[in-house]
């Protein structure tokens, strides 16, 4: 049989090296079929999971965990799963995880460094003319404690958009399917959520306006919230409520990418979100102080109390030096200086030596069961080395946020987290000139997950956006030689008092998701006891 001259003309090297018989019709057909089987067999290796690949997901609600798990089972990566879970949380936990809230993310691609995605809220433009310069140098405005005037420009949608465009491998409209379905067809909500949405009885909660907003956002992630129909509807609802928001407020919003705040703790490295988050900076200082203390010849009560004073020290000066780095200069070097830390430790060690073994009188109350948290959380690890941890908050602290009827969105109360000389601050940490109000500025917050990288295990820790979360993480992360056997203390800096945990440390433990070097995944819900964790 004659060779295929057309084929040879396209590949002249074949004509000189391959026997003519190779190009018989039957042989060529066999070759092409074999090549096709090889390509088909290898094409799924990138996305499909095999039996020896492990993954895990933890969220603050079982429906969100199930949505993320479905995406992982379909071959999605950790970021796809986190987006699916976040969409569902926006439906089932609107008070803490609404789409019009704020979020902070730690992200790690396989073999790459950890990144911080700051999707916290910013102050709208209309407040600028209302600001008054005070004698202290701070500019303040008496913000309403709730309602439309308390709302800051949402950052959470910007964070989800960035993850979808830079980390996800599935389209957002696919991973948001469960969220849209739950919003439209409804779900059985707890009493708190029904009350929040103005519903009574055990009726299924349906949110058709929110379903429409989520569907539009999922179809147009780059423009579906801060531009076009959703933005127009939000501005219209605010204007009707007497608050002069404009489309510029939404159009100008940008997420911020930051390098994490990192410090060593024994043989591990801890990673937090940097300023304007204060959580990592406070914990860096308190751990440095705790490591300087001497523990010989003191009672358990004395040890407990001294560790409580370490927590108090963390709130003394450092938080007031933190603010949005785009607006103020954040210098913390002196707060971490060795001589400063040693002096702090010496003062605690010498001042708070207590006679006897009874607890000091300043420990005034006991925590009752599981503490409430003002944040929703998502953490996912997959079998490809990807890792994501997010904390989401409407920053409402029990205040009533503005409800936008056209979009079905419950807005945050982020403006109340700026420095307010005429209002009691939500956090002790917000009461500083560095955290003064300004258009486009982000407020100081405690909204940061934690990643702890050890020699054999990497842990994700999740807690709330409140001062209690500092105590929670402090007791969880303390090095073993310093740990207490049972009771721990929660420090309340606003009232300068301690609450004793009367049960065990597990009642104030953060949520955790851990993955070993060989890929084994485990975790614990901790304070997010109403959530769900699945590790495979």
CB 477 within 8 A of CB 265: yes
**How high is the pLDDT of residue 315?**
81
Higher-scoring residue by pLDDT: 149, 235: 235
End-to-end CA distance of the chain: 57
Q: Which two tokens stand for residue 328?
A: 């103020």
Q: How many CB atoms lie within 10 A of CB 430?
A: 23
Q: Tens of pLDDT along 331-370?
A: 888 889 999 999 989 888 887 554 333 434 343 333 444 3
d(CA 127, CA 99): 23
Looking at every residue in the chain, the average pLDDT score rounds to 80
pLDDT of residue 92 exceeding 60: yes
Per-residue model confidence (pLDDT) at position 309? 83
Confidence of residue 139 (pLDDT cuts 50, 70, 90): low
The confidence band for 241, taking pLDDT boundaries of 50, 70 and 90, is very high
Q: What is the mean pLDDT of residues 41-68?
A: 68
The predicted structure's pLDDT at residue 40: 38
Q: Give the residue with greater pLDDT, 196 vs 361.
A: 196
Average pLDDT of 370-378? 73
- CA 437 – CA 423 distance, rounded (Å): 13
For residue 500, name the pLDDT band (cuts at 50, 70, 90): low
* pLDDT for the residue numbered 55: 92
Which of 217-226, 261-270, 300-309, 499-508 shows the lowest mean pLDDT across its residues?
Answer: 499-508
Separation CA 83–CA 388 (nearest Å): 10
Angstrom distance (rounded) from CA 474 to CA 336: 17
202 pLDDT band, cuts 50/70/90, is low
Q: What is the pLDDT of residue 305?
A: 78
What are the distances in angstroms from CA 407 to CA 99, 185, 259, 355, 506?
A: 10, 16, 34, 61, 39
Contact criterion met (CB below 8 Å) for 511 and 531: yes
Tokens 């089987």 label which residue? 37
Tell me the pLDDT band of 146, cut-offs 50, 70 and 90.
Answer: confident
pLDDT of residue 166: 96
pTM: 0.83
Q: Does the pLDDT at position 532 exceed 70?
A: yes
- Position 89 pLDDT exceeds 70: yes
Pairing of strands 363-367, 497-501: parallel
Q: Are 412 and 394 in contact (CB under 8 A)?
A: yes
The pLDDT assigned to 274 comes to 96
- pLDDT bucket at 227, cuts 50 / 70 / 90: very high
- Structure confidence by residue, pLDDT tens digits, 436-466: 888 999 999 989 999 999 999 999 999 988 8
Q: Measured between alpha carbons, how far is 191 from 344 in angstroms, rounded to an integer? A: 46
Give me the helices (H) in 44-77, please. Answer: 62-73
| Top-confidence residue, 346 or 236 | 236
d(CA 93, CA 192): 10
Cis peptide before 38 (omega within 30 of 0): no
List, as one string, the DSSP characters of 101-115. Answer: SEEEEEEE-TTS--E
pLDDT of the residue at 162 = 97
Does the pLDDT of residue 507 top 70, yes or no?
no
421 pLDDT higher than 60? no
Residues in the chain: 536
CA neighbor of 367 nearest in space, from 457, 528, 523, 498: 498
- pLDDT tens digits, one per residue of 289-317: 988 988 777 777 777 778 888 888 888 77
Q: Which is higher by pLDDT, 135 or 279?
A: 279
Q: 244: how many CB neighbours lie within 10 A of its CB?
A: 12
| Side-chain-facing half-sphere of 128: CA atoms under 13 Å | 9
CB within 8 A of 238, min separation 6: which ones? 148, 151, 244, 245, 402, 404
Amino acid 232: pLDDT? 96
- Measured in degrees and rounded to the nearest 5, phi and psi for residue 268 equal -120, 165
Confidence band of 425 (pLDDT split at 50, 70, 90): very low
């Amino acid at each position: 049989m004659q060779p295929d001259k057309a084929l040879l003309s396209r590949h002249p090297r074949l004509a000189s090296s391959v026997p003519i018989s190779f190009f018989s019709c039957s042989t060529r057909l066999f070759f092409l079929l074999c090549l096709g089987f090889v390509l088909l067999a290898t094409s799924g290796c990138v996305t499909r999971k095999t039996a020896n690949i492990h993954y895990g997901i933890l969220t603050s609600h079982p429906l969100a965990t199930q949505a993320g798990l479905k995406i992982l089972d379909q071959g999605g990566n950790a970021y796809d799963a986190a987006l699916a879970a976040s969409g569902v949380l926006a439906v089932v936990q609107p008070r803490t995880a609404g789409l019009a809230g704020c979020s902070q993310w730690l992200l790690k691609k396989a073999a790459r460094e950890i990144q911080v995605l700051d999707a916290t809220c910013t102050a709208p433009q209309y407040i600028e003319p209302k600001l008054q310069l005070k004698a202290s140098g701070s500019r303040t405005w008496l913000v309403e404690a709730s309602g439309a005037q308390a709302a800051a420009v949402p950052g959470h949608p910007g964070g989800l958009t960035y993850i979808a465009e830079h980390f996800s491998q599935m389209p957002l409209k696919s991973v948001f399917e469960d969220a849209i379905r739950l919003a439209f067809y409804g779900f059985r909500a707890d009493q708190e959520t029904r009350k929040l949405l103005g519903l009574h009885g055990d009726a299924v909660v349906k949110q058709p306006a929110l379903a429409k907003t989520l569907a539009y956002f999922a179809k147009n992630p780059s423009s579906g919230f801060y531009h076009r129909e959703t933005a127009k509807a939000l501005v219209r609802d605010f204007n009707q409520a007497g608050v002069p928001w404009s489309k510029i407020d939404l159009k100008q919003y940008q997420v911020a990418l930051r390098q994490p705040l990192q410090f060593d703790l024994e043989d591990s490295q801890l990673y937090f979100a940097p300023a304007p988050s204060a959580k990592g900076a406070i914990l860096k200082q308190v751990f440095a102080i705790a490591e300087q203390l001497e523990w010989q010849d003191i009672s358990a009560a004395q040890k407990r109390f001294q560790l409580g004073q370490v927590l108090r020290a963390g709130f003394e000066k450092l938080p007031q030096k933190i603010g949005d780095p785009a607006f103020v200069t954040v210098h913390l070097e002196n707060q971490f200086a060795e001589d400063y830390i040693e002096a702090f430790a010496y003062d605690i060690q010498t001042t708070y030596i207590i006679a006897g073994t009874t607890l000091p009188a300043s420990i005034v109350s006991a925590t009752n069961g599981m503490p409430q948290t003002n944040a929703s959380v998502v953490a996912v690890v997959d079998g490809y080395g990807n890792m994501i941890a997010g904390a989401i908050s409407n920053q409402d602290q029990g205040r009533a946020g503005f409800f936008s009827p056209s979009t079905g969105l419950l807005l945050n109360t982020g403006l109340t987290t700026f420095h307010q000389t005429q209002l009691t601050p939500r956090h002790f940490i917000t009461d500083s000139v560095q955290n003064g109000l300004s258009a486009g500025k982000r407020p100081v917050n405690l909204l940061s997950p934690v990643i702890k990288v050890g020699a054999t295990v990497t842990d994700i820790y999740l807690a709330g956006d409140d001062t209690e979360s500092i105590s929670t993480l402090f007791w969880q992360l303390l090095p073993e030689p310093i740990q207490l056997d049972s009771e721990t203390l929660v420090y309340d800096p606003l009232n300068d008092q301690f609450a004793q945990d009367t049960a065990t440390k597990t009642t104030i433990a953060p949520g955790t998701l851990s993955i070993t070097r060989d890929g084994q995944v485990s975790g614990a819900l901790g304070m997010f006891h109403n959530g769900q964790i699945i590790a495979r």
